Amino acid sequence: VLLEPQPANPPPGMPAIVDEISNKRSINVAMVGMLSVYLDLPEQLWLEAVRASLPENLWPVNLEAFQMGRRQGLARRRTEAQ
């Protein structure tokens, strides 16, 4: 059985990140940043994982993407708590 692809509904805040991010291939790291808000792991571990997964020359853009996603995740979490 083949399923027709359906457009994904991005989480609130993600369209803004997509517009602002300097390297579109880093969107997945921004999503990890959003996810990091919801999982009980220290932020430092997430950052170490990003560094361990990528060549050093890609760290700046991907760490920036992670932080953008994390900020959006924190904002969303505050909204959910209200």
Q: What is the pLDDT of residues 34-44, one digit of tens each?
A: 999 999 999 99
What does residue 4 show for φ and ψ, rounded to 5 degrees? -75, 135
- Give mean pLDDT, residues 9-37: 83
- Mean pLDDT computed over every residue of the chain: 88
Residue 63: pLDDT band (50, 70, 90) is very high
Mark residue 8 as left, alpha or beta (left: phi above 0; alpha: psi -120 to 50; beta: remaining). beta
| Total-model pTM | 0.81
Say if residue 27's pLDDT is above 80: yes
